[in-house]
Amino acid sequence: MAKQVGNAELAKLFRDTAAQETEHAFAHFRLLHPELVIDDPASLSEAQKQGLLSRCLELAIEGETYEYTTMYPEFAAQARADRDSGAEAEFQEQIDESKDHAGIFRTAAKNFGLLTPIEQHHAERYGIALEALNGKGVAGEAAQPVAGQWICKLCSMIYDPAVGDPDSGLTPGTPFEAIPDDWRCPICGARKASFVPYREPELLAVA
């Protein structure tokens, strides 16, 4: 954003800081998982490489599973609670401001709810990749899409007609085909054309 508004110096500061924070994250990772620090990749056997990759996938699955089973549901519950208490109490004092807050909290709760199946999808893909890595098959997708469900190619948001997108005027029961062409993904803002039929991750037999 800083670059877009013409402040190249501030944009560089943000980029540099982000790069430094990334290095901090890697440092923390090395402390938490010294078994995954590789000094000489060339010295590793195929079995050791396989073990390291398996451990990385296990950690990825653990993280994604935590997000969709615990983190995002808790965020959603907190957003709803804040909307019901804090925002509603403030409504008595400043109507317009608390209406804005309530809208923000509703949007937050909705977005956290939408992120839950995304993280579940990520975890399932990692699980399939882990099985494929262990020689149990080939990572792929189901031959037939899930009836009625479409997935965003940019952010993996899954549109489910049973849920719809009420904030965009799409009531539950609205099929994807009936959505106006100017509808946007509620997570990333992608166009309707960026969605494709959703196929569940699946372990395929080796040809």
* pLDDT value for 201: 94
pLDDT in tens, 96-151: 554 455 555 556 667 777 888 888 999 999 999 999 999 999 999 999 999 999 99
* pLDDT value for 83: 64
CATH of 137-207, one of 3.30.540.10, 3.20.20.70, 3.40.50.720, 2.20.28.10: 2.20.28.10
| Tokens found for residue 153 | 């190619």
* pLDDT value for 4: 93
* pLDDT value for 206: 84
* pLDDT value for 107: 67
* pLDDT value for 128: 93
Q: Is the dihedral of CA 187, 192, 193, 195 positive or negative?
A: positive
Cα–Cα distance between 93 and 88 in angstroms, integer?
10
| Tokens found for residue 66 | 């935590």
Hunting for tokens 């909705």 — which residue is that?
A: 110
- Report the candidate in 179, 128, 188 with the shortest Cα–Cα distance to residue 152: 188
User: Residue 27: left (phi > 0), alpha (psi -120 to 50), or beta?
Assistant: alpha
Provide the H-helix boundaries in the chain: 8-32, 46-66, 72-82, 88-91, 95-133
Cα 36 to chain centroid, rounded: 25
Cα–Cα distance between 38 and 32 in angstroms, integer?
14
* pLDDT value for 102: 53
pTM above 0.95, yes or no: no
In the predicted model, residues of the chain with pLDDT beneath 70 are: 83-109
- Report the candidate in 203, 65, 187, 62 with the shortest Cα–Cα distance to residue 114: 187
